[in-house]
Structure 1
Amino acid sequence: MTGTSKAEQTGRIPAGGLRELGLVNWILAKLGARTVRAPQMHLFTTLGQHKRLFWLWLPYSGALLRGRLPRADTELVILRVAHLRGCEYELQHHRRMARRRGLDDTSQDAIFSWPHSSGSLSPRQRALLAATDEFVTTRSVSEDAWKQLSNHLDRRQLIEFCMLAGQYDGLAATMSALEIPLDHPGHG
């Protein structure tokens, strides 16, 4: 692999095997890899080495993926966070998931080029994107963006939006700091 550092290939914390992960986390990592059709799911083989945090994070993250927000909205927020943070790992996984949730390549291109091209985006999607941008860049949401978002989301969904954006922003930062390698190197 010319031009690729060892850290880029293995991450700052090498992938854990059975001994580092323990049997249950090792099995989860294998199942995760099978689900994403990769030899290894590096996120799980890295985070799974901290067994307690992994077991606390996994159901929380899963609950956000299957929360009160429509799944297309969830994926829109995740894609925008990943784009803003330059997190290729999140983009690689969630571009596929977003396609299955109804966000085709044209929709995804509009999400990535927001706010410069918003013609194909619904008012709801534009409100989600504006709030996501503010949440990630300012760590809050302005009154105007909140009002727009409140036109489309109920109270629980508003809370969930904040938790979702924060979770994926924090996860992107964690993956970046740990230099977690891609599960599908060379694929977008």
Structure 2
Amino acid sequence: MSAPDRTPEAAPARVQPGGFRELGPLNWVIAKLGARAIRAPRFALFNVLGQHHLLFLLWLPYSGALLGMGKLPKQEAELVILRVGHLRNCEYELQQHRRLARSRGVDTEMQARIFEGPDAEGLTDRQRVLITATDEFVITRSMSTETWTALSSYLSKKQLIEFCMLAANYDGLAATMATLRIPLDFPD
């Protein structure tokens, strides 16, 4: 078995973003509204995933709930998502969430600290624990007792469950985007 291609952005998309015919009327409207929300001509993730009509309609509210209606503060959710994108070297996820994180109060300097890791200067103890927990969850598919205990001292039971689901969702998305080679929405 050969190693996976580590430069999916340079390679052609394996599933091209679809239009009205491929998405159907409902998913096409959702993709157009999504593109407007991110201020892009298209939302390639939606234009690809939307081609699986039912799966997209089931995934969208789940993913949206994790992103916007969760128990974790929005800044902390973005910390987790950015760290997952960094660990998975997923430029699409990072491109989207660098922008969204800034709108949620996670400035460029904080993003650099998130990418540097839990030993970066200027992080709070809580942020260090969140980054460490994300690293362990994504890399080992679990968490050490020490890290779990530290995370549990900051998060409620519901937040702990949400943390796992959030990290898993964005890890799965990173793998999906890399495998399907979803093209970036912005030229930068």
- State the alpha-carbon separation in 1 of the partners of residues 11 and 176 from structure 2: 17
Does structure 1 retain, via aligned residues, the 8 Å contact 2:119–2:128? no
Q: Which moved more, 1:10-19 or 1:106-115?
A: 10-19
In the alignment, the residues of structure 1 paired with residue 143 and residue 24 of structure 2 have an alpha-carbon distance, to the nearest angstrom, of 41
Instruction: Give me the whole-angstrom Cα distance separating, in 1, the residues matched to 2:135 and 2:92.
Output: 19
Do 1:42 and 1:181's aligned partners in 2 also have CA atoms closer than 8 Å? yes
Displacement of 1:33 = 1.0
In structure 2, C-alpha distance between the alignment counterparts of 1:34 and 1:80, rounded to whole Å = 26
Residue 102 (structure 1) aligned to one of 101, 105, 121: 105
Quick one: which amino acid aligns to residue 70 of structure 1? Answer: P
8 Å Cα contact 2:118/2:129 also seen in 1: no
Indicate conservation of the 8 Å contact 2:129/2:147, yes or no: yes
Tell me by how many angstroms 1:31 deviates: 1.0
> How many aligned residue pairs are there?
180
Report the Cα distance in structure 2 between the residues aligned to 1:115 and 1:54, rounded to whole angstroms: 34
Q: Which residue of 2 aligns with 1:114?
A: 117
Q: Does 1:73 align with 2:60?
A: no
* Alpha-carbon distance between aligned partners in 1 of 2:112 and 2:126, rounded to the nearest angstrom: 17
Following the alignment from structure 1 to structure 2, what is the Cα–Cα distance between the partners of residues 86 and 95? 13
Instruction: State how far apart, in whole Å, the 2-side matches of 1:9 and 1:97 are.
Output: 26
Q: CA RMSD in A?
A: 1.4
Map of 2:88 onto structure 1? 85
TM-score computed with the length of structure 1 as normaliser: 0.92
Which secondary structure state, in structure 2, belongs to the residue aligned with residue 153 of structure 1? coil
Question: How far apart in 1 are the matches of 2:12 and 2:36?
Answer: 19
TM-score normalized with structure 2 length: 0.92
Alignment partner of 2:16: what SS? coil
Following TM superposition, the consecutive aligned residue runs of length 4 or more in structure 1 with deviations greater than 2 angstroms are 7-10
Mapped partners of 1:143, 1:9: distance in 2: 40
Give identity over the alignment, percent. Answer: 61
**1:61 matches 2:57:** no
Residues 78, 165 of structure 1: 8 Å contact kept: yes
Q: Deviations over 1:142-163 (max 9, x none)?
A: 1011011011100000000000
Structure 1 unaligned segments of length 5 or more: list them. none
Superposed counterparts of 1:12-91, under 5 Å: 12-65=14-67, 66-91=69-94
Structure 2 alignment gaps of length 5 or more: 1-6
- State how far apart, in whole Å, the 2-side matches of 1:122 and 1:101 are: 18
